[in-house]
Protein backbone atom coordinates (compact mmCIF):
# COMPACT_ATOMS: atom_id res chain seq x y z
CA UNK A 1 0.00 0.00 0.00
CA UNK A 2 2.17 2.81 -1.25
CA UNK A 3 0.28 4.85 -3.87
CA UNK A 4 -1.91 7.87 -3.29
CA UNK A 5 -5.22 7.36 -5.07
CA UNK A 6 -5.34 3.62 -4.53
CA UNK A 7 -8.79 2.18 -3.76
CA UNK A 8 -8.94 -0.18 -0.78
CA UNK A 9 -11.72 -2.66 -0.08
CA UNK A 10 -13.66 -1.12 -2.96
CA UNK A 11 -14.57 1.88 -0.83
CA UNK A 12 -11.66 3.85 0.65
CA UNK A 13 -9.56 6.09 -1.63
CA UNK A 14 -6.12 6.96 -0.25
CA UNK A 15 -5.33 10.68 -0.12
CA UNK A 16 -2.32 11.24 2.09
CA UNK A 17 0.07 9.21 4.24
CA UNK A 18 -0.29 10.33 7.85
CA UNK A 19 2.38 8.21 9.49
CA UNK A 20 3.85 4.79 9.95
CA UNK A 21 5.36 2.61 12.62
CA UNK A 22 6.76 -0.82 13.14
CA UNK A 23 3.31 -2.42 13.03
CA UNK A 24 1.49 -0.55 10.27
CA UNK A 25 0.84 2.49 8.07
CA UNK A 26 -1.89 5.11 8.58
CA UNK A 27 -3.45 7.03 5.70
CA UNK A 28 -6.00 9.76 5.31
CA UNK A 29 -8.63 8.43 2.92
CA UNK A 30 -12.07 9.26 1.58
CA UNK A 31 -14.98 6.95 2.28
CA UNK A 32 -16.60 7.00 -1.17
CA UNK A 33 -19.87 5.58 0.11
CA UNK A 34 -20.43 8.13 2.87
CA UNK A 35 -18.29 10.90 1.35
CA UNK A 36 -16.34 11.60 4.52
CA UNK A 37 -12.65 11.60 5.44
CA UNK A 38 -11.41 8.62 7.45
CA UNK A 39 -8.11 7.31 8.74
CA UNK A 40 -7.13 3.89 7.40
CA UNK A 41 -4.60 1.70 9.14
CA UNK A 42 -3.17 -1.42 7.55
CA UNK A 43 -1.05 -3.81 9.56
CA UNK A 44 2.28 -4.65 8.03
CA UNK A 45 2.86 -8.12 6.67
CA UNK A 46 4.93 -10.42 8.89
CA UNK A 47 7.09 -12.61 6.62
CA UNK A 48 8.67 -14.25 9.66
CA UNK A 49 5.38 -16.05 10.36
CA UNK A 50 4.35 -19.26 8.64
CA UNK A 51 1.00 -19.55 6.87
CA UNK A 52 -0.82 -20.85 9.93
CA UNK A 53 0.50 -18.15 12.22
CA UNK A 54 -0.21 -15.44 9.63
CA UNK A 55 -3.82 -16.55 9.39
CA UNK A 56 -4.12 -16.63 13.17
CA UNK A 57 -2.64 -13.13 13.37
CA UNK A 58 -5.10 -11.92 10.75
CA UNK A 59 -8.05 -13.38 12.61
CA UNK A 60 -6.90 -11.86 15.89
CA UNK A 61 -6.47 -8.48 14.22
CA UNK A 62 -10.03 -8.65 12.93
CA UNK A 63 -11.30 -9.71 16.34
CA UNK A 64 -9.37 -7.01 18.20
CA UNK A 65 -10.67 -4.45 15.71
CA UNK A 66 -14.23 -5.48 16.46
CA UNK A 67 -13.55 -5.24 20.17
CA UNK A 68 -12.07 -1.75 19.81
CA UNK A 69 -15.08 -0.70 17.74
CA UNK A 70 -17.28 -1.23 20.79
CA UNK A 71 -15.62 1.70 22.56
CA UNK A 72 -17.52 4.95 22.11
CA UNK A 73 -16.00 7.89 23.97
CA UNK A 74 -15.42 11.54 23.00
CA UNK A 75 -11.74 11.23 23.95
CA UNK A 76 -11.03 8.08 21.93
CA UNK A 77 -10.59 7.86 18.18
CA UNK A 78 -13.69 6.04 16.94
CA UNK A 79 -13.29 2.79 15.05
CA UNK A 80 -15.85 2.71 12.23
CA UNK A 81 -15.11 -0.65 10.68
CA UNK A 82 -12.60 -3.45 10.25
CA UNK A 83 -12.39 -4.87 6.72
CA UNK A 84 -10.00 -6.80 4.52
CA UNK A 85 -8.16 -5.88 1.35
CA UNK A 86 -6.06 -8.48 -0.38
CA UNK A 87 -6.34 -10.70 2.67
CA UNK A 88 -4.90 -8.05 4.99
CA UNK A 89 -6.99 -6.41 7.75
CA UNK A 90 -7.72 -2.70 7.55
CA UNK A 91 -8.85 -0.60 10.49
CA UNK A 92 -11.18 2.23 9.44
CA UNK A 93 -11.06 5.02 12.01
CA UNK A 94 -12.24 8.54 12.66
CA UNK A 95 -10.05 11.15 11.01
CA UNK A 96 -9.08 13.99 13.37
CA UNK A 97 -7.12 17.00 12.06
CA UNK A 98 -4.61 17.27 14.86
CA UNK A 99 -1.03 17.07 16.10
CA UNK A 100 0.28 14.26 18.21
CA UNK A 101 1.57 15.02 21.67
CA UNK A 102 4.93 13.68 20.50
CA UNK A 103 5.03 16.32 17.75
CA UNK A 104 4.04 19.08 20.17
CA UNK A 105 6.73 18.14 22.67
CA UNK A 106 9.33 17.83 19.93
CA UNK A 107 8.47 21.15 18.28
CA UNK A 108 7.22 23.34 21.14
CA UNK A 109 8.95 21.90 24.20
CA UNK A 110 7.59 20.71 27.51
CA UNK A 111 4.17 21.68 28.87
CA UNK A 112 3.05 23.36 32.08
CA UNK A 113 1.59 21.10 34.79
CA UNK A 114 -1.92 22.35 34.06
CA UNK A 115 -1.57 21.77 30.33
CA UNK A 116 -0.33 18.25 30.97
CA UNK A 117 -3.10 17.66 33.51
CA UNK A 118 -5.74 18.71 30.97
CA UNK A 119 -4.40 16.19 28.49
CA UNK A 120 -4.14 13.54 31.19
CA UNK A 121 -7.72 14.05 32.37
CA UNK A 122 -9.11 13.56 28.88
CA UNK A 123 -7.00 10.52 28.08
CA UNK A 124 -7.79 8.98 31.48
CA UNK A 125 -11.50 9.44 30.80
CA UNK A 126 -11.20 7.36 27.64
CA UNK A 127 -9.05 4.73 29.36
CA UNK A 128 -11.54 4.43 32.23
CA UNK A 129 -14.30 3.71 29.73
CA UNK A 130 -12.11 1.22 27.88
CA UNK A 131 -11.06 -0.59 31.03
CA UNK A 132 -14.67 -0.87 32.16
CA UNK A 133 -15.39 -2.60 28.83
CA UNK A 134 -12.46 -4.98 29.29
CA UNK A 135 -10.25 -3.24 26.72
CA UNK A 136 -6.58 -2.58 27.50
CA UNK A 137 -4.81 -0.09 25.22
CA UNK A 138 -1.28 -1.51 25.71
CA UNK A 139 0.59 1.30 23.96
CA UNK A 140 -0.17 4.62 25.67
CA UNK A 141 2.51 7.10 24.62
CA UNK A 142 2.77 10.66 23.23
CA UNK A 143 2.64 9.43 19.64
CA UNK A 144 -0.80 7.87 20.18
CA UNK A 145 -2.34 10.96 21.79
CA UNK A 146 -3.85 13.43 19.30
CA UNK A 147 -4.67 17.05 20.12
CA UNK A 148 -7.04 19.03 17.90
CA UNK A 149 -6.84 22.78 17.35
CA UNK A 150 -9.74 23.36 19.78
CA UNK A 151 -7.90 21.52 22.56
CA UNK A 152 -9.85 18.28 22.28
CA UNK A 153 -7.64 15.32 23.17
CA UNK A 154 -8.19 11.83 21.79
CA UNK A 155 -6.24 8.62 22.18
CA UNK A 156 -6.03 6.23 19.27
CA UNK A 157 -4.59 2.86 18.25
CA UNK A 158 -6.59 0.80 20.74
CA UNK A 159 -4.80 -2.50 20.61
CA UNK A 160 -5.12 -3.35 16.92
CA UNK A 161 -1.39 -3.09 16.22
CA UNK A 162 -0.66 -5.35 19.16
CA UNK A 163 -3.19 -7.93 18.00
CA UNK A 164 -0.92 -8.87 15.11
CA UNK A 165 1.99 -9.14 17.52
CA UNK A 166 0.18 -11.47 19.87
CA UNK A 167 1.35 -14.51 17.93
CA UNK A 168 4.97 -13.50 18.37
CA UNK A 169 4.42 -12.67 22.02
CA UNK A 170 3.26 -16.16 22.82
CA UNK A 171 5.54 -18.07 20.45
CA UNK A 172 8.87 -16.25 20.44
CA UNK A 173 8.55 -13.64 23.19
CA UNK A 174 8.29 -10.48 21.09
CA UNK A 175 6.77 -7.58 23.01
CA UNK A 176 5.72 -4.73 20.68
CA UNK A 177 5.68 -1.16 21.93
CA UNK A 178 7.95 1.64 23.03
CA UNK A 179 10.19 0.57 25.95
CA UNK A 180 10.49 4.12 27.34
CA UNK A 181 6.76 4.05 28.17
CA UNK A 182 6.50 0.43 29.28
CA UNK A 183 5.29 -0.36 32.78
CA UNK A 184 7.89 -2.33 34.79
CA UNK A 185 5.81 -5.49 34.76
CA UNK A 186 5.59 -5.34 30.95
CA UNK A 187 9.36 -4.91 30.71
CA UNK A 188 9.64 -8.08 32.80
CA UNK A 189 7.53 -9.98 30.29
CA UNK A 190 4.10 -9.89 31.92
CA UNK A 191 0.86 -9.33 30.04
CA UNK A 192 -0.20 -5.64 29.94
CA UNK A 193 -3.23 -4.80 32.07
CA UNK A 194 -5.34 -1.74 32.86
CA UNK A 195 -2.78 -0.85 35.53
CA UNK A 196 -0.07 -0.94 32.85
CA UNK A 197 -2.05 1.64 30.87
CA UNK A 198 -2.13 3.90 33.94
CA UNK A 199 1.64 3.64 34.32
CA UNK A 200 2.20 4.42 30.63
CA UNK A 201 -0.07 7.46 30.88
CA UNK A 202 1.90 8.56 33.94
CA UNK A 203 5.15 8.17 31.98
CA UNK A 204 3.61 10.19 29.14
CA UNK A 205 2.58 13.05 31.45
CA UNK A 206 6.00 12.90 33.12
CA UNK A 207 7.58 13.38 29.69
CA UNK A 208 5.20 16.26 28.97
CA UNK A 209 6.33 18.29 32.00
CA UNK A 210 9.94 17.10 32.29
CA UNK A 211 10.86 16.93 28.62
CA UNK A 212 11.75 13.21 28.67
CA UNK A 213 10.10 10.02 29.96
CA UNK A 214 11.03 8.82 33.47
CA UNK A 215 13.48 6.17 32.27
CA UNK A 216 15.02 8.23 29.48
CA UNK A 217 14.75 8.07 25.72
CA UNK A 218 15.42 4.85 23.84
CA UNK A 219 16.74 6.19 20.55
CA UNK A 220 20.32 5.14 21.22
CA UNK A 221 20.11 2.17 23.55
CA UNK A 222 16.74 0.50 24.03
CA UNK A 223 18.31 -2.30 26.05
CA UNK A 224 19.58 0.12 28.70
CA UNK A 225 16.18 1.79 28.91
CA UNK A 226 14.48 -1.58 29.23
CA UNK A 227 16.69 -2.53 32.17
CA UNK A 228 15.85 0.75 33.91
CA UNK A 229 12.14 0.25 33.30
CA UNK A 230 12.25 -3.30 34.68
CA UNK A 231 14.01 -2.03 37.82
CA UNK A 232 11.53 0.82 38.25
CA UNK A 233 14.15 3.44 39.17
CA UNK A 234 13.65 7.03 38.03
CA UNK A 235 14.24 10.61 39.13
CA UNK A 236 11.46 12.50 40.85
CA UNK A 237 9.82 15.06 38.56
CA UNK A 238 11.19 18.58 39.13
CA UNK A 239 8.73 20.59 37.05
CA UNK A 240 5.44 18.84 37.81
CA UNK A 241 4.28 21.19 40.58
CA UNK A 242 0.75 20.21 41.71
CA UNK A 243 0.80 17.27 39.31
CA UNK A 244 3.66 15.57 41.16
CA UNK A 245 1.69 13.52 43.74
CA UNK A 246 -0.54 12.15 41.01
CA UNK A 247 2.43 11.23 38.82
CA UNK A 248 4.15 9.37 41.64
CA UNK A 249 1.17 7.16 42.34
CA UNK A 250 0.60 6.48 38.63
CA UNK A 251 4.27 5.47 38.39
CA UNK A 252 4.23 3.05 41.34
CA UNK A 253 6.24 -0.06 40.45
CA UNK A 254 3.69 -2.47 41.91
CA UNK A 255 0.60 -2.43 39.65
CA UNK A 256 -1.60 -2.93 42.70
CA UNK A 257 -0.39 0.35 44.16
CA UNK A 258 -1.55 2.48 41.22
CA UNK A 259 -4.88 4.22 41.18
CA UNK A 260 -7.43 3.53 38.46
CA UNK A 261 -7.98 5.61 35.35
CA UNK A 262 -11.20 7.11 36.73
CA UNK A 263 -9.31 8.40 39.77
CA UNK A 264 -6.59 9.76 37.51
CA UNK A 265 -9.22 11.69 35.57
CA UNK A 266 -10.68 13.27 38.71
CA UNK A 267 -7.31 14.17 40.21
CA UNK A 268 -5.94 15.59 36.95
CA UNK A 269 -9.07 17.68 36.40
CA UNK A 270 -8.67 19.13 39.89
CA UNK A 271 -5.12 20.20 39.00
CA UNK A 272 -6.51 21.94 35.91
CA UNK A 273 -9.05 23.90 37.95
CA UNK A 274 -6.61 24.67 40.76
CA UNK A 275 -8.67 22.81 43.35
CA UNK A 276 -7.62 20.47 46.14
CA UNK A 277 -8.64 16.96 45.17
CA UNK A 278 -8.30 14.15 47.68
CA UNK A 279 -6.94 11.17 45.79
CA UNK A 280 -6.56 7.76 47.33
CA UNK A 281 -2.83 7.20 47.17
CA UNK A 282 -1.64 3.73 48.22
CA UNK A 283 0.85 4.02 51.06
CA UNK A 284 3.66 2.54 48.98
CA UNK A 285 3.19 5.18 46.31
CA UNK A 286 4.32 7.95 48.65
CA UNK A 287 7.85 9.22 49.11
CA UNK A 288 9.66 7.15 51.71
CA UNK A 289 7.20 4.27 51.57
CA UNK A 290 8.26 0.73 52.41
CA UNK A 291 9.27 -1.34 49.39
CA UNK A 292 6.78 -3.96 48.30
CA UNK A 293 9.53 -6.54 48.80
CA UNK A 294 10.35 -5.53 52.39
CA UNK A 295 8.39 -6.21 55.58
CA UNK A 296 6.58 -3.20 56.96
CA UNK A 297 7.73 -2.10 60.40
CA UNK A 298 4.80 0.26 60.87
CA UNK A 299 1.87 -1.71 62.38
CA UNK A 300 -0.44 0.45 60.26
CA UNK A 301 1.39 -0.43 57.04
CA UNK A 302 -1.22 -3.05 56.17
CA UNK A 303 -3.74 -0.29 55.54
CA UNK A 304 -4.45 -0.22 51.81
CA UNK A 305 -4.53 3.53 51.25
CA UNK A 306 -4.64 6.95 52.79
CA UNK A 307 -5.83 10.27 51.46
CA UNK A 308 -3.27 12.75 50.19
CA UNK A 309 -4.57 16.16 49.06
CA UNK A 310 -3.01 17.85 46.07
CA UNK A 311 -2.24 21.39 47.21
CA UNK A 312 -1.27 24.49 45.31
CA UNK A 313 1.54 24.95 47.84
CA UNK A 314 3.23 21.92 46.28
CA UNK A 315 3.91 23.83 43.07
CA UNK A 316 7.53 24.56 43.99
CA UNK A 317 9.82 22.14 42.21
CA UNK A 318 11.10 19.35 44.42
CA UNK A 319 14.85 19.00 44.95
CA UNK A 320 16.45 16.43 42.69
CA UNK A 321 16.92 13.09 44.34
CA UNK A 322 16.58 9.51 43.32
CA UNK A 323 13.01 8.22 43.41
CA UNK A 324 13.37 4.51 43.95
CA UNK A 325 10.22 2.47 44.45
CA UNK A 326 10.51 -1.28 44.75
CA UNK A 327 13.79 -2.57 43.20
CA UNK A 328 13.34 -6.19 42.30
CA UNK A 329 16.03 -8.43 40.90
CA UNK A 330 15.81 -9.24 37.21
CA UNK A 331 15.81 -13.02 37.16
CA UNK A 332 16.93 -14.04 33.73
CA UNK A 333 18.83 -17.21 34.73
CA UNK A 334 20.12 -18.11 31.29
CA UNK A 335 18.16 -15.58 29.29
CA UNK A 336 18.98 -12.50 27.28
CA UNK A 337 17.28 -9.36 26.05
CA UNK A 338 17.57 -8.57 22.37
CA UNK A 339 16.30 -5.40 20.70
CA UNK A 340 15.41 -5.75 17.03
CA UNK A 341 14.07 -2.78 15.04
CA UNK A 342 12.53 -1.18 18.09
CA UNK A 343 10.77 -4.38 19.18
CA UNK A 344 11.93 -5.92 22.43
CA UNK A 345 12.53 -9.65 22.25
CA UNK A 346 12.58 -11.55 25.51
CA UNK A 347 14.53 -14.82 25.52
CA UNK A 348 13.82 -16.13 28.98
CA UNK A 349 15.15 -19.35 30.37
CA UNK A 350 11.82 -20.06 32.02
CA UNK A 351 9.04 -19.23 29.53
CA UNK A 352 5.46 -19.18 30.73
CA UNK A 353 4.31 -22.79 30.88
CA UNK A 354 0.77 -24.04 30.46
CA UNK A 355 -0.67 -24.98 33.84
CA UNK A 356 -0.75 -28.72 33.26
CA UNK A 357 1.00 -30.10 36.34
CA UNK A 358 -0.17 -33.53 37.40
CA UNK A 359 -0.85 -32.60 41.01
CA UNK A 360 -2.06 -28.99 41.29
CA UNK A 361 -1.54 -27.24 44.56
CA UNK A 362 -4.68 -26.59 46.61
CA UNK A 363 -6.13 -23.14 46.35
CA UNK A 364 -4.30 -20.86 48.76
CA UNK A 365 -6.31 -18.12 50.48
CA UNK A 366 -4.84 -14.67 50.81
CA UNK A 367 -2.68 -14.49 53.91
CA UNK A 368 -2.84 -11.71 56.45
CA UNK A 369 0.45 -10.27 55.22
CA UNK A 370 -0.30 -10.34 51.47
CA UNK A 371 -2.17 -7.67 49.55
CA UNK A 372 -5.90 -8.43 49.55
CA UNK A 373 -7.74 -9.14 46.33
CA UNK A 374 -9.01 -5.90 44.80
CA UNK A 375 -12.01 -5.25 42.58
CA UNK A 376 -9.64 -4.46 39.70
CA UNK A 377 -7.87 -7.81 40.23
CA UNK A 378 -11.17 -9.66 39.94
CA UNK A 379 -12.31 -7.79 36.84
CA UNK A 380 -8.93 -8.12 35.14
CA UNK A 381 -8.57 -11.89 35.52
CA UNK A 382 -12.00 -12.43 33.95
CA UNK A 383 -11.21 -10.01 31.11
CA UNK A 384 -7.88 -11.75 30.49
CA UNK A 385 -9.55 -15.16 30.55
CA UNK A 386 -11.96 -14.36 27.74
CA UNK A 387 -9.41 -12.28 25.80
CA UNK A 388 -7.33 -15.45 25.44
CA UNK A 389 -10.18 -17.55 24.07
CA UNK A 390 -10.55 -19.44 21.87
CA UNK A 391 -7.15 -18.91 20.22
CA UNK A 392 -4.95 -19.26 23.30
CA UNK A 393 -6.41 -21.92 25.62
CA UNK A 394 -3.10 -22.30 27.49
CA UNK A 395 -3.29 -18.68 28.65
CA UNK A 396 -6.95 -19.05 29.63
CA UNK A 397 -6.23 -22.29 31.52
CA UNK A 398 -3.54 -20.50 33.49
CA UNK A 399 -6.21 -18.08 34.79
CA UNK A 400 -8.03 -20.94 36.56
CA UNK A 401 -7.40 -22.00 40.13
CA UNK A 402 -6.21 -25.52 40.99
CA UNK A 403 -9.78 -26.38 42.02
CA UNK A 404 -11.04 -25.47 38.55
CA UNK A 405 -8.12 -27.19 36.85
CA UNK A 406 -8.85 -30.36 38.81
CA UNK A 407 -11.88 -30.85 36.54
CA UNK A 408 -9.43 -31.83 33.79
CA UNK A 409 -7.51 -30.18 30.98
CA UNK A 410 -8.79 -32.67 28.41
CA UNK A 411 -12.37 -31.66 29.10
CA UNK A 412 -11.46 -27.98 28.92
CA UNK A 413 -9.68 -28.39 25.58
CA UNK A 414 -12.47 -30.53 24.18
CA UNK A 415 -14.97 -27.75 24.73
CA UNK A 416 -12.89 -24.86 23.43
CA UNK A 417 -11.70 -26.76 20.35
CA UNK A 418 -15.31 -26.54 19.12
CA UNK A 419 -15.50 -22.76 19.63
CA UNK A 420 -14.68 -20.38 16.78
CA UNK A 421 -15.24 -17.01 18.46
CA UNK A 422 -16.00 -15.45 21.84
CA UNK A 423 -17.56 -12.00 22.16
CA UNK A 424 -18.14 -10.27 25.50
CA UNK A 425 -21.70 -8.91 25.38
CA UNK A 426 -21.90 -7.81 29.02
CA UNK A 427 -18.54 -6.52 30.32
CA UNK A 428 -17.24 -7.93 33.61
CA UNK A 429 -18.68 -6.21 36.69
CA UNK A 430 -18.49 -7.02 40.36
CA UNK A 431 -21.68 -8.22 42.03
CA UNK A 432 -20.27 -8.93 45.45
CA UNK A 433 -17.03 -9.51 47.29
CA UNK A 434 -14.63 -11.32 44.93
CA UNK A 435 -17.52 -12.10 42.58
CA UNK A 436 -17.70 -11.09 38.91
CA UNK A 437 -20.67 -11.23 36.51
CA UNK A 438 -20.03 -11.42 32.76
CA UNK A 439 -22.02 -12.17 29.62
CA UNK A 440 -20.49 -13.79 26.53
CA UNK A 441 -21.60 -14.93 23.10
CA UNK A 442 -19.91 -18.16 22.04
CA UNK A 443 -19.92 -19.26 18.41
CA UNK A 444 -19.49 -23.01 17.89
CA UNK A 445 -18.00 -24.67 14.84
CA UNK A 446 -21.36 -26.17 13.82
CA UNK A 447 -22.91 -22.71 13.52
CA UNK A 448 -24.65 -22.78 16.89
CA UNK A 449 -24.43 -19.64 19.00
CA UNK A 450 -24.58 -19.69 22.80
CA UNK A 451 -25.26 -16.56 24.83
CA UNK A 452 -24.24 -17.22 28.42
CA UNK A 453 -24.13 -15.23 31.63
CA UNK A 454 -21.65 -16.42 34.24
CA UNK A 455 -20.84 -15.55 37.82
CA UNK A 456 -17.21 -16.20 38.68
CA UNK A 457 -15.73 -16.49 42.15
CA UNK A 458 -12.20 -15.09 42.31
CA UNK A 459 -9.43 -16.04 44.75
CA UNK A 460 -5.72 -15.47 45.04
CA UNK A 461 -3.33 -18.36 44.48
CA UNK A 462 0.25 -17.60 45.46
CA UNK A 463 -0.57 -13.89 45.26
CA UNK A 464 -2.12 -14.08 41.77
CA UNK A 465 -5.87 -13.70 41.06
CA UNK A 466 -7.48 -16.85 39.68
CA UNK A 467 -11.01 -17.96 38.73
CA UNK A 468 -12.11 -20.43 41.42
CA UNK A 469 -15.82 -21.02 40.72
CA UNK A 470 -18.02 -20.73 37.63
CA UNK A 471 -21.80 -20.53 38.01
CA UNK A 472 -23.84 -20.47 34.80
CA UNK A 473 -26.71 -18.08 35.53
CA UNK A 474 -28.46 -18.15 32.16
CA UNK A 475 -27.88 -19.63 28.72
CA UNK A 476 -29.57 -19.21 25.34
CA UNK A 477 -28.76 -21.56 22.49
CA UNK A 478 -29.47 -20.53 18.88
CA UNK A 479 -29.17 -23.30 16.31
CA UNK A 480 -28.02 -22.49 12.76
CA UNK A 481 -31.00 -21.47 10.61
CA UNK A 482 -32.39 -24.01 8.17
CA UNK A 483 -34.24 -23.32 4.96
CA UNK A 484 -37.87 -22.44 5.64
CA UNK A 485 -37.51 -22.51 9.41
CA UNK A 486 -36.73 -20.03 12.10
CA UNK A 487 -33.60 -20.46 14.20
CA UNK A 488 -34.36 -22.68 17.15
CA UNK A 489 -33.37 -21.50 20.58
CA UNK A 490 -33.82 -22.53 24.14
CA UNK A 491 -33.14 -20.66 27.33
CA UNK A 492 -31.81 -22.20 30.51
CA UNK A 493 -33.09 -20.56 33.65
CA UNK A 494 -30.73 -19.17 36.26
CA UNK A 495 -29.35 -21.62 38.75
CA UNK A 496 -30.44 -21.40 42.36
CA UNK A 497 -27.98 -23.94 43.66
CA UNK A 498 -25.78 -23.38 46.64
CA UNK A 499 -22.08 -22.70 46.01
CA UNK A 500 -20.28 -25.81 44.74
CA UNK A 501 -18.45 -28.03 47.21
CA UNK A 502 -14.64 -27.98 47.22
CA UNK A 503 -13.32 -29.61 44.07
CA UNK A 504 -16.28 -28.60 41.91
CA UNK A 505 -15.59 -25.82 39.45
CA UNK A 506 -18.97 -24.12 39.61
CA UNK A 507 -22.74 -24.41 39.68
CA UNK A 508 -23.64 -24.91 36.04
CA UNK A 509 -25.03 -28.41 36.69
CA UNK A 510 -27.90 -28.10 34.20
CA UNK A 511 -29.74 -31.01 32.58
CA UNK A 512 -27.41 -32.47 29.98
CA UNK A 513 -24.39 -30.56 31.27
CA UNK A 514 -21.48 -31.59 33.41
CA UNK A 515 -20.14 -29.78 36.44
CA UNK A 516 -18.77 -26.35 35.70
CA UNK A 517 -15.07 -26.11 35.06
CA UNK A 518 -14.53 -22.95 33.10
CA UNK A 519 -16.72 -23.95 30.13
CA UNK A 520 -15.06 -27.35 30.10
CA UNK A 521 -18.32 -29.12 29.31
CA UNK A 522 -19.85 -30.79 26.31
CA UNK A 523 -20.92 -27.98 23.97
CA UNK A 524 -23.63 -30.19 22.51
CA UNK A 525 -25.05 -31.11 25.90
pLDDT band at 25 (very low <50, low <70, confident <90, very high): confident
31, 103, 139, 486: the active-site residue: 139
Q: Is 46 exposed, middle or buried (0-12, 13-18, 19+ CB in 10 A)?
A: middle
* Of 32 and 496, more confident: 32
Cis amide leading into 390 (omega within 30):
yes
Examine the pLDDT at 207 and tell me if it is beyond 70: yes
* Of 250 and 225, more confident: 250
Domain 7-94 carries which CATH code? 3.30.200.20
What is the Cα–Cα distance from 131 to 438, expressed in whole angstroms?
14
The confidence score (pLDDT) of residue 2 equals 57
Question: What's the rounded mean pLDDT across residues 404-429?
Answer: 90
Tell me, yes or no, if the pTM score tops 0.85.
no
Strands 153-155 and 278-282: unpaired
* Of 189 and 483, more confident: 189
Any known ligand binding at 41?
yes
Q: What distance lies between CA 430 and its chain's CA centroid?
A: 18
The confidence score (pLDDT) of residue 476 equals 82
Q: Are 201 and 262 in contact (CB under 8 A)?
A: no
Q: Which of 122-126, 164-168, 307-311 has the highest mean pLDDT?
A: 122-126
Structurally, what CATH architecture does the domain formed by 353-525 represent?
Roll (3.10)
The confidence score (pLDDT) of residue 47 equals 66
Question: What's the rounded mean pLDDT across residues 203-212?
Answer: 97
What's phi and psi for 50, nearest 5 deg? -80, 180
Examine the pLDDT at 452 and tell me if it is beyond 80: yes
The confidence score (pLDDT) of residue 160 equals 57
Examine the pLDDT at 230 and tell me if it is beyond 70: yes
Query: Domain extents for the chain?
Result: 7-94, 98-287+306-312, 353-525
Q: Check if CATH label 1.10.287.70 holds for domain 98-287+306-312.
A: no
Nearest to 353 by CA among 411, 410, 395, 386: 395
Helix/strand/coil (H/E/C) assignment for every residue in 282-342 = EHHHCCCCCCCCCCCCCCCCCCCEEEEECCHHHHCCCCCCEECCCCCCCCCCCCEEEEECC
H/E stretch holding 492: strand 489-492
508 is known as an active-site residue? no
Amino acid sequence: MSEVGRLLAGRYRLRRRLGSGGMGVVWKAIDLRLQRPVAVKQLREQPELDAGDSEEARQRAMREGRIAAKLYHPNAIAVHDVVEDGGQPLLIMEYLPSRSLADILGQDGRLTPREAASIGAQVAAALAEAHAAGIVHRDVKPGNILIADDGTVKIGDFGISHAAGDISVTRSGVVPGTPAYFAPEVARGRTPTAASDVFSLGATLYAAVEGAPPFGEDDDNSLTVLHRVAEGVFDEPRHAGPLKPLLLTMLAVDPAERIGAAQVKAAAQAVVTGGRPAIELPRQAQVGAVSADEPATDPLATSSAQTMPVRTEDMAAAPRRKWQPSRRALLYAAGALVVVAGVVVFVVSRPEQPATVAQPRPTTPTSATSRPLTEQDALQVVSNYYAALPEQPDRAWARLSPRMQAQGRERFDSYWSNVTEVTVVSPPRTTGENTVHVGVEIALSDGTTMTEYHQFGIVKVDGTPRIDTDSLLDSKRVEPSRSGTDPASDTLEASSQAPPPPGDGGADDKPGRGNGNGHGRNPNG
